[in-house]
Amino acid sequence: MPTTASPPTAAAGASRRSGTLYIGDPGMWSWVAHRITGVLTFFFLFVHVLDTALVRVSPAAYNAVIETYKTPLVALLEVGLVGAVLYHALNGIRVMLVDFWSKGPKYQRPMLWSLLGVWLVVMVPGAFFMLQRAATELFGGH
């Protein structure tokens, strides 16, 4: 059964020098990470819609659950989630460029390094703002 997102397999590249077109290439790992981050976000969304639905139960019930979002440990998980979604979004744009831009396949690898660069540049200040409060609660401010 053909699926839309499988990486090309070695079979088609039998005549190529290395024997494979894609396996072992950083492009393969970028696809693995895209898959994992997509699944992770999907599962988060499931829980997230359930917790948001508590606004229909009572303000107290909703506020009680949202309080857990503000604890240091969960704040760390949120940074992880934001990092995962950001990677998935940036790599998704790269996938689209590879598919639709005539030079996309040629530049797939430099585009991967660039997206990792953008990811770092966004995540460093992002993590700082997201963890500021948790850090003062844990290590100072008493």
Partner 1 sequence: MTETLTLDKPRSPRRPAARRSNFELYSWLFMRLSGLALVVLVLGHLFIMNIVDGGVHRIDFAFVAGRWSSPFWQFWDLLMLWLAQLHGGNGLRTIIDDYARKDTTRFWLKIMLYASMVVILVLGTLVIFTFDPTIA
Q: Tell me which residues touch partner 1 (CB under 8 A).
A: 1-6, 12, 35, 38-39, 41-42, 45-46, 49-50, 52-53, 55-56, 58-59, 62-63, 66, 69-70, 75, 78, 82, 85-86, 89, 92-93, 95-96, 99-100, 126, 129-130, 133
- Backbone dihedral angles phi then psi of residue 101, each to the nearest 5 degrees: -95, 130
| Rounded CA separation 98/89 (Å) | 14
Which segment (10-18, 85-93, 100-108, 110-118) binds ligand HEM by CB under 6 A? 85-93
Which residue from 120, 121, 93 is spatially nearest to 107, judged by alpha carbons? 93
Instruction: Count CA within 13 A, CB hemisphere, residue 104.
Output: 13
Q: Does 95 bind ligand HEM (CB under 6 A)?
A: yes
* Count of residues that bind ligand HEM according to CB under 6 A: 24
- 94 in Cβ contact with 112 (< 8 Å): yes
Q: Which helix (H) or strand (E) holds 43?
A: helix 26-52
Q: Summarize as ranges the residues that interact with ligand HEM (CB under 6 A).
A: 4-5, 34-35, 38-39, 41-42, 44-45, 48-49, 52-53, 69, 78, 81, 85, 88-89, 92-93, 95-96
